[in-house]
Structure 1
C-alpha cells in the first residue's frame, strides 16, 4: 500500500537515523553507570583531568544565593564526563571509554535481535518491567527529600505564557514517543496473529506510554526540586531539557544526595533498560523492512543474521562521530532534523491521505473489522480522513513558519553548514514521497488509486485459515507487550 508513494522508503530512512543516534543515549547511560560504581561520583568534584578552571564544587546545604553560580553548576559543559568541546567545528579527540561502551551496547543489541522477535520477546519480560521497579524506588526516595514538593509543583503547574510553544513541542513529541511514522510497529505487527485485536492494543499502548511518561516526571522533578533547595535557587535554573536533563542536571542533583553512587547507578541502569527496549523495536523494524525488499530467490540461511550485522556495523561507524568531544553537537543535529517533528508530521500526514483517500477509509475499516471481529468506532474514520491529517498539516506548517536555527544549551548557535547538513538529513526522508510519485508518473504508470497492487484488489485478505496460529507465541506477546 505505501510502497508506490514512497512512504515505506521514507519510514525506513527515518528509523535508520533513529537507530543511528538514539543508541548514543544507551552508550552515555552505560558510561555513566560504570562511573557510578565508585565511592565518590566523578562529576561531584573538580579533581578530574577533564575539569576546567571554571569548575566549582558544590556542597550540600551550602548557603549561596548567587544565580550565576547555579548556572555554572548546571550548564558548565566541562563539568560532565563527556567533556564537550566548544562547537561543531571542534570535534576534538575521541573518548575511547565511551567508544567501548558504544561498541558493547551495539553487540548487546545485535545478539538480542539477530534471531528475531522470538528471542527478543523473552528479553523484554525483564527490560520492560524492571524499570517500573526502579522508578517507584526513586520516587519514594525523591519525595522524602527537602524541596521535592516545590519541584513537583513546578512540574504540574502550567505556564500559560508558553502554551503556544508547549503545544508544538507536545505535538511533535507524541509522534516520536509513539513511534508514529517510523514503520517499526507496523513491522512488528506483521508477526502477530491475524485476529489479534490491534484496535484495543492501540488504546492500551497510548495509556501505558503516556502514564509512564507522566509518572517519570514526578521522579525527575522531585530530585530537581531537592537540588534547587540545596543550592538556594529557583528550580527553573536547574531544570534542563534534552540530553542535558539526564546527563548534566540529574547527575548533579543525585551527587548531592546521601549514598549518591547507589541512586546514580539505579537511575542509569533504568535509563539503559528503557533505551534498549526502544532500540530493539527500531532495529527489528528496520531489518524486517530490509528483508522484505529482497525477493525469495536471494534467500540465504543466515540472511537475517547478516542483515542485522550490517545494520549494526553501519550505524556504529556513523556513531563514531558522536563519541568525540564534539559528539553532542552531532547528536543534536540528528535529533533535531533527521527524526524531528517536521519529518514525522509529514510522514503521518501522507499516511492518512493514502489510507483514507487512496485506499479508502471504509475499505480500511472493513479490513480491521475482518481481523478483530467488530467494527471500530465510526469516529476513527473521521480521524483518518479529516482530523488527523488536518492536525498534522497544521502543526507542520506552524513548525515550519516558526522555525528557529538549532542551538545547544540555548547558547551555542550552529554554523550555517551545520544547518545545511541538518536539512539534508530531514529532506532525505521527506523527499522520498514526491520523488517516488514523480518516478511513477515519468515511467508512465497509472495513478496509485487506479493501479493498486494485486493483493489490494482481493476482496478478502489474510491467511488461508484465519484460525491458523501465528509464527511464534513469543512474537505475538512481544508485539502486544
Structure 2
C-alpha cells in the first residue's frame, strides 16, 4: 500500500502546501477582528490557551494519523478504529460545505479586475447604484486631494455596485453574470491546479503559498506609514483584562483556533498521507502551528493600521469602520485603500493576496475529497485519467450548485453556510471523536510508539495527556457551552434572517455530525458478537 501511494517530490512542497492550507482568509479577516472585539491584547490569553491544549495537539494528531496510515480522511479510520469511520464521512460533508468559500475567490477576482480601472468603482459617487446618501470625502494624503465616497447608509457602494447585493436572503434576485464568470474561471483554475494530485499541487504552492507573504509584507509596510495607523493598532491591541471573565471571549478564541488551524477537516490527514513514513511529522507540526499563529498576529497590524488611516480620513473612531469576514474584505478594506494615493496599486495587492490565500485552502479541500473517494473505491478510480475524470465531475457539480450564490442574495447564502456548515460546534464534535477514537480505541501509547518507530522522535507527555484527557474534555465542555450561548445569525446591518433559514442552517450543521453516531450504530448492528444485531446462536 505504501509503495503505491503518491509522494511529494520534495519536503518543502509538503511544508508549503500545509502552510497554504492553514494560513488562509481567516488569518486576515477573522483573527484581527476577534482580537479587537474581545479585549485587544487580552484575547491572546485564551487564544494561546486553546492553541496549546487543543489546536497544536489536534494538528499533530492528524498529521501523525495521515503519515502512519498512508490513507485519506475516511479509510484511515479503518486502520485505527473501524467504529469511527463515520468521522471520515462527517469530514467529507464538512468539506463539501466548505467549498462555498470558492465564491469568495470569485468576488476577489471580480474586484481584482475592477482594480485596474482608472477610477475604482467603490471610490466614486458617479455610479448608477449610488444614492443621495453617498458623499464625497477629500483625502489629504499625497500631494493633491482625492475625492472618495462614503458608504450609502448601511449598504456600502462596493457591495451594492460590484456584487449587486440584495437586502436579504429572501431577495435572491437574478444571477450576476460577472460573478458567475468569475466563479467559473476560479473553478477551472482550481481543477488544473489539483488534477494531477500532489504532482501538480506541489508545483503550484511555490507561488500560492509564498506570494501572499510578499503581499502581506507590502501592505504591512504601507499601512504602518499611513497617518492614523497608530490609532488603528491601539484599537487592535489595547488590553481590557475584564473581558477575560466573558464567556463569549473564550468561545471566540476556541472557534478561531479550531478554524484557523484547519483541524477536524481532513486536510491535514490528507496532505501528510503523501509523506514518507520516516518524515519528522512532530517537528513539522510545531513549525506550521507557529507560522499560522504568527501570521494571524502580524496580519492584524496590516489590517488595523489601514483601518486607522480610514477612520482618520473620515473623522470618526476606528470602531466605526471595523468589520469582520466578507465585510472587511469587500467593504471596509476596499474603501480604505481607495483613500490612499495610487489606490489601484494597493487594491491589486490586496485582492491578489486574498486570491492566493483562498486558493491554497481550496486545493487542500478538493484533494481531501478526491483522495478520500479514490481510497474508498481504488479499483474504480485508481489511475490518472480516472482520477482526473472524477475530479472534473466533482468540480462541475459543485459549480452548478453554487450558481445560486452568484445571485444578488449570494452573500447571505454564503453567510448561512459559513456560520453553520463548518461551525465551531461541528468541528469540536469531530475533533473530540478523533481524540477518543485514537487515544482510547487505538491507544495513545501505541500511536506514540509508532511515531518513535517511524521518525525516532519521542512524543512529549503533554501531547499524550492532551490526546487522552485535556483536548477531548475541552472540546466537550465548549461544545455544550457553544450550544447554550448560541445567537441567531444576523446580516451585516444587524437584521435577522428568515425563520426558515435558521431551520435550514441547523440541518446543515447536523449533517456534519449525524454520520458519526449513524455509522457506529450500523457497525454495531452488523457486527457479529454479543453487542451486534447479527449475533449468531453458534459462534
TM-score (norm 2): 0.79
**Aligned counterparts of 2:104 and 2:500: Cα–Cα separation in 1:** 25
Aligned-residue offset at 1:77:
4.1
Which residue pairs with 1:31 in the alignment?
110
Q: CA separation of 1:77/1:419 partners in 2, compared to 1, >3 Å: closer, same or farther?
A: farther
Is the partner of 1:309 in helix, strand or coil? helix
Equivalent of 1:167 in 250, 255, 259: 250
Matching of residues 127-276 of structure 1 within 5 Å:
127-163=208-244, 164=246, 165-276=248-359
Equivalent of 1:57 in 114, 132, 136: 136
Equivalent of 1:15 in 89, 95, 107: 95
Check whether the contact 2:151–2:157 (CA below 8 A) recurs between aligned residues: no
Gaps of 5+ in 1: 63-69, 449-481
Check whether the contact 1:4–1:436 (CA below 8 A) recurs between aligned residues: yes
Check whether the contact 1:337–1:426 (CA below 8 A) recurs between aligned residues: yes
For residues 353-400 of structure 1, the C-alpha deviation after alignment (integer angstroms, 9 at most, x for no partner) is: 101111111111111111111221111110001110111111111111
Which residue pairs with 1:360 in the alignment?
443
Which residue pairs with 2:516 in the alignment?
433
Check whether the contact 2:121–2:158 (CA below 8 A) recurs between aligned residues: no
Which one is further off, 303-312 or 345-354? Answer: 303-312
Which residue pairs with 1:294 in the alignment?
377
Aligned-residue offset at 1:300:
5.3
- Would you say how many aligned residue pairs link Structure 1 and Structure 2? 440
Q: CA separation of 1:159/1:241 partners in 2, compared to 1, >3 Å: closer, same or farther?
A: farther
Equivalent of 2:426 in 343, 347, 365: 343
Check whether the contact 1:74–1:249 (CA below 8 A) recurs between aligned residues: no
Check whether the contact 2:282–2:459 (CA below 8 A) recurs between aligned residues: yes
Equivalent of 1:307 in 367, 390, 393: 390
**Aligned counterparts of 2:302 and 2:351: Cα–Cα separation in 1:** 13
Which residue pairs with 1:400 in the alignment?
483
Check whether the contact 1:71–1:238 (CA below 8 A) recurs between aligned residues: no
**Aligned counterparts of 1:358 and 1:447: Cα–Cα separation in 2:** 18
Check whether the contact 1:77–1:84 (CA below 8 A) recurs between aligned residues: no
Aligned-residue offset at 1:166:
2.5
Is the partner of 1:407 in helix, strand or coil? coil
**Aligned counterparts of 1:92 and 1:447: Cα–Cα separation in 2:** 57
Is the partner of 1:25 in helix, strand or coil? helix
Aligned-residue offset at 1:98:
0.9
For residues 273-301 of structure 1, the C-alpha deviation after alignment (integer angstroms, 9 at most, x for no partner) is: 11111111111111101111114256455
Check whether the contact 1:11–1:182 (CA below 8 A) recurs between aligned residues: yes
Q: CA separation of 1:51/1:161 partners in 2, compared to 1, >3 Å: closer, same or farther?
A: farther
For residues 129-171 of structure 1, the C-alpha deviation after alignment (integer angstroms, 9 at most, x for no partner) is: 1111111111111111110001011111234454432321121
**Aligned counterparts of 2:342 and 2:380: Cα–Cα separation in 1:** 60
**Aligned counterparts of 2:224 and 2:323: Cα–Cα separation in 1:** 20
Q: CA separation of 1:447/1:71 partners in 2, compared to 1, >3 Å: closer, same or farther?
A: farther
Which one is further off, 233-242 or 53-62? Answer: 53-62
Equivalent of 1:416 in 485, 496, 499: 499
Superposition RMSD in Å: 1.9
Q: CA separation of 1:264/1:447 partners in 2, compared to 1, >3 Å: closer, same or farther?
A: farther
Equivalent of 2:163 in 62, 65, 82: 82
Aligned-residue offset at 1:39:
1.3
Is the partner of 2:126 in helix, strand or coil? coil
TM-score (norm 1): 0.88
Aligned-residue offset at 1:73:
5.7
Q: CA separation of 1:227/1:362 partners in 2, compared to 1, >3 Å: closer, same or farther?
A: same
Check whether the contact 1:142–1:148 (CA below 8 A) recurs between aligned residues: yes
Which one is further off, 411-420 or 439-448? Answer: 439-448
Q: CA separation of 1:330/1:253 partners in 2, compared to 1, >3 Å: closer, same or farther?
A: same
Is the partner of 1:249 in helix, strand or coil? helix
Which residue pairs with 1:66 in the alignment?
none
